[in-house]
Amino acid sequence: MAINLDSMSLKELKDLQSQVTRTIASFEERKKKQALTELEEKARQMGFSLAELTGGAVKIRKRAPATPKYANPADKTDTWSGRGRKPRWFDAALKAGKSPEDLSI
């Protein structure tokens, strides 16, 4: 399949480039799926599942929710754990002369 690239406009060349990129990406995905299918079939023939042989699904460790350490003096239900960005009420209380210990729960 010979394509005369010199006779193509810039728009046509860019369109061709995006088509090639998409085709390459889909080709790699198809090959991965094919390999996975073949591995699962081979494992099934031997009496196992692929998850058993690879140690099962990888579990993502999630961080436990942080416990609140500080409470808004104007609204005790508005709390902050001390993680992440400081809330406005916390900064305002510090500027007003309060200490973090005064705001702790």
pLDDT in tens, 13-68: 999 999 999 999 899 999 999 999 999 999 899 998 888 888 765 566 777 888 99
Give the CA dihedral 92, 97, 101, 105, nearest 10 degrees: -40
Q: What is the pTM of this model?
A: 0.41
Residue among 20, 75, 78, 16 at smallest CA distance from 5: 16
Report domain extents, the chain.
8-54, 70-103
In whole angstroms, give the CA distance from residue 37 to residue 29.
Answer: 12
Q: Is the pLDDT of residue 94 over 60?
A: yes
